[in-house]
């Protein structure tokens, strides 16, 4: 069976997520792809025999830059406002993974996520036992990031990353580690009560309070913009929020987001002029920026479903017309909604269906173009990759 015909609940949820600008992570009720049928000794096995559980060992692609990726998880509390989704919980709390350029060979391997966060994903998505994905195997995914690694000397642009609706911050780890390896400090923001679980400072992992509630979606980007502005305040005023804040060049700040996180990048740029460049990876614009609101560089990176010729999301056409600064709109042939995060790589390793574009290629393209965009807009390094089609990247189409 051809890969592009292996349509399942995963694919259906992926397409639905694209339309709404949300993400679904490891989709509920997904069924692993069956292992190849044996052709020798086991051919005689009864048809009713139960297949053994898969052995899931997740490995994310290694960073490609000259630096290692150091990692540290920090916890912040915004005493100025109550949590927007669960006000009874008190002030807004954020869990943020800071990823930074580090000296190779220092630190210890960092877990992909806490056990509580991994348990939240497994429980929320109802993953079958046969997938081999357990809290232990999921938290143990190899990330190529290192806790306590010694930082490289110097100052580096800050890039904030915002994940899809219902997906935890760690789903953008591949992009974060690669950006750090190329000389960026990266802040992966966990959106408390918006996903399968973020472990807070007290060790408790929050449930999702708004998952599956379409009435809350449109207000998420504006709420995240407040989170990001608070985070930038904390990271650029001394070292109290993070001991390595001195690494940040506070005059060079960018933001990228996947799905509704991309809408959050747009909303943050409207609200906070300190964010000098933004990237929306396959997310509907909620709200659509008005002409004159964003006159700074912006990259729109999407699957084919957002292309106007395919009846794509009308907010992309509206946003494109409204953007006033340097802008690029790239469509990646064969990609799906999760090609821009870690999820297709992990789906494939767990035996779930994946899109025509190989998951590893999806990560590679995402990294190359997002890094090139921030190199050009935050570091002033000209990147021919952004000038037009490249023979090395035939999947990437420049629009309109």
Which of these, 12, 7, 4, 9, lies nearest to 337 by C-alpha position?
A: 12
Which of these, 20, 18, 19, 52, lies nearest to 38 by C-alpha position?
A: 52
Dihedral of the alpha carbons of 82, 86, 89, 90, in degrees to the nearest 10: 0
Q: What is the pLDDT of residue 88?
A: 97
For residue 244 the two structure tokens come to 């390595």
**Distance in angstroms (rounded) separating the CA atoms of residues 55 and 43:** 22
For residue 90 the two structure tokens come to 């008190």
Q: What is the pLDDT of residue 33?
A: 39
**Distance in angstroms (rounded) separating the CA atoms of residues 291 and 213:** 30
Report the SS3 class of residue 333: coil
**Distance in angstroms (rounded) separating the CA atoms of residues 59 and 144:** 9
**Rg (the chain; Cα; Å):** 20
Planar angle of CA 228, 230, 236, nearest 5 degrees: 100
The values of phi and psi at residue 159, to 5°, are -120, 120
Q: What is the pLDDT of residue 131?
A: 80
Q: What is the pLDDT of residue 172?
A: 98
Task: Report, as ranges of residue numbers, the positions in the chain whose pLDDT lies below 70.
Answer: 1-54, 307-311
Q: What is the pLDDT of residue 23?
A: 53
Q: What is the pLDDT of residue 126?
A: 78
**Distance in angstroms (rounded) separating the CA atoms of residues 223 and 278:** 17
Query: What one-character DSSP code corresponds to residue 109?
Result: E
Question: What is the widest separation between alpha-carbon atoms in the chain?
Answer: 70
Q: What is the pLDDT of residue 1?
A: 32
**Distance in angstroms (rounded) separating the CA atoms of residues 95 and 240:** 15
Q: What is the pLDDT of residue 2?
A: 30
Q: Give CA 386 to chain center in angstroms.
A: 21
**Distance in angstroms (rounded) separating the CA atoms of residues 318 and 285:** 9
Whether omega for the bond prior to residue 383 falls within 30 degrees of 0, making it cis, is no
CA distances, 54 to each of 97, 248, 374 (Å): 30, 43, 39
Helix H or strand E encompassing 95: strand 91-102
């Amino acid at each position: 069976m051809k890969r592009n015909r292996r349509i399942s609940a995963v694919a259906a949820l992926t397409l639905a997520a694209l339309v709404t600008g949300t993400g679904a992570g490891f989709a509920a009720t997904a069924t692993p792809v069956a292992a190849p049928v044996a052709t020798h000794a086991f051919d005689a096995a009864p048809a009713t025999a139960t297949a053994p559980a898969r052995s899931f060992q997740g490995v994310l692609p290694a960073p490609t830059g000259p630096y290692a990726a150091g990692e540290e998880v920090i916890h912040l509390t915004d005493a100025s406002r109550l949590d927007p989704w669960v006000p009874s919980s008190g002030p807004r709390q954020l869990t943020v993974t800071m990823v930074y350029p580090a000296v190779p060979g220092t630190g210890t391997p960092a877990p992909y996520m806490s056990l509580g966060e991994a348990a939240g994903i497994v429980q929320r998505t109802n993953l079958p036992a046969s997938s081999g994905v357990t809290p232990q195997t999921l938290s143990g995914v190899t990330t190529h990031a290192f806790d306590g690694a010694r930082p490289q000397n110097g100052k580096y642009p800050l890039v904030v990353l915002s994940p899809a609706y219902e997906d935890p911050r760690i789903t953008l780890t591949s992009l974060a580690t690669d950006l750090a390896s190329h000389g960026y400090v990266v802040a992966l923001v966990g959106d408390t009560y918006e996903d399968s679980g973020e472990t807070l400072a007290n060790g408790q992992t929050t449930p999702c309070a708004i998952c599956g509630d379409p009435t809350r979606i449109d207000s998420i980007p504006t709420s995240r913009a407040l989170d990001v502005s608070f985070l930038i305040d904390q990271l650029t005023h001394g070292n109290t929020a993070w001991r390595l804040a001195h690494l940040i060049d506070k005059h060079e700040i960018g933001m990228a987001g996947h799905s509704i996180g991309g809408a959050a990048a747009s909303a943050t740029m409207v609200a906070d002029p300190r964010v000098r460049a933004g990237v929306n990876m396959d997310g509907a614009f909620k709200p659509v920026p008005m002409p004159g609101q964003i006159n700074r560089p912006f990259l729109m990176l999407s699957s084919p479903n957002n292309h106007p010729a395919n009846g794509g999301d009308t907010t992309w056409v509206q946003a494109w017309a409204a953007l006033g600064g340097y802008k690029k709109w790239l469509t990646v042939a064969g990609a799906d909604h999760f090609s821009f995060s870690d999820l297709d790589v992990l789906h494939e390793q767990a035996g779930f269906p994946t899109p025509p574009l190989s998951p590893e290629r999806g990560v590679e393209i995402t990294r190359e173009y997002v890094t090139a965009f921030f190199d050009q807009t935050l570091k002033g390094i000209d990147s021919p990759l952004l000038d037009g089609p490249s023979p090395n990247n035939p999947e990437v189409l420049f629009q309109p």
